[in-house]
A = this chain, B = another copy of it.
Amino acid sequence: MSDTAALLTRRRRLLGTQAPLFYEQPLHIVRGEGVWLFDADGRRYLDCYNNVPLVGHCHPEVVAALSQQAATLNVHTRYLHETILDYSERLLATFDPSLSMVLYTCTGSEANDQALRIARHCTGGAGIICTNLTYHGNTTAVDQVSPLFYGKVAPYPEVRAIPFPDSYRPLRGLSGRALAEAYAAEIDRAIESFDTAGIGFAGMIACPIFANEGLPTVPSGYLELALGKVHAAGGLFIADEVQAGFGRCGEMWSHQLHGITPDIVTMGKPMANGYPMAAVVTRAGLMESFRDAVMYFNTFGGNPVACAAADAVLTILERDGLAAHAQRIGDRVRDGFRQLAEHHDLIGDVRGDGLWIGVELVQDRSSREPATSATQRVVEGMKARGILLNRIGEFGNVLKMRPPLPFAEEHAELLLTTMGEVLATL
Give the interface of A toward B (CB within 8 A): 4, 7-8, 10-11, 13-22, 26-32, 37, 50, 52-53, 57-58, 60, 62-63, 66-67, 70-82, 84-85, 88-89, 92, 100-103, 105-110, 113-114, 116-117, 138-141, 143, 149, 268-269, 273-277, 284, 287-288, 291-292, 294-301, 303, 305-306
Q: Give the interface SS of chain A, mostly helix, strand, loop or mixed.
A: mixed
Option from B71, B76, B292, B295 in Cβ contact (under 8 Å) with A58: B71
Q: Which residues of B contact A274 (CB under 8 A)?
A: 70, 74-75, 300, 303, 305
Task: Tell whether, in the assembled complex, residue A101 and residue B21 are in contact, meaning their CB atoms are under 8 Å apart.
Answer: no
Whole-angstrom distance between the Cβ of A330 and the nearest chain B Cβ:
22
Q: Which residues of B contact A117 (CB under 8 A)?
A: 140, 143
Task: Tell whether, in the assembled complex, residue B296 and residue A22 are in contact, meaning their CB atoms are under 8 Å apart.
Answer: no
Q: Can you add 4 more A-B contacts, CB < 8 Å, to A30-B72, A63-B67?
A: A13-B101, A15-B103, A27-B80, A29-B75
- The quantity of this chain's copies bound in the complex is 2
Closest 5 CB pairs of A and B: A140-B141, A67-B67, A18-B291, A276-B300, A276-B276
Option from B57, B81, B287, B288 in Cβ contact (under 8 Å) with A28: B81
Task: Tell whether, in the assembled complex, residue A139 and residue B138 are in contact, meaning their CB atoms are under 8 Å apart.
Answer: no
Task: Tell whether, in the assembled complex, residue A299 and residue B108 are in contact, meaning their CB atoms are under 8 Å apart.
Answer: yes
Q: Which residues of B contact A102 (CB under 8 A)?
A: 14-15
Option from B20, B92, B300 in Cβ contact (under 8 Å) with A297: B20
Q: Which residues of B contact A92 (CB under 8 A)?
A: 14
Q: A73-B32, A300-B106 are in contact. Are A20 and B78 (CB under 8 A)?
A: yes
Whole-angstrom distance between the Cβ of A30 and the nearest chain B Cβ:
6
In the bound complex, CA of A103 to CA of B17 (Å): 12
In the bound complex, CA of A91 to CA of B331 (Å): 47
Q: Which residues of B contact A140 (CB under 8 A)?
A: 113, 116-117, 139-141
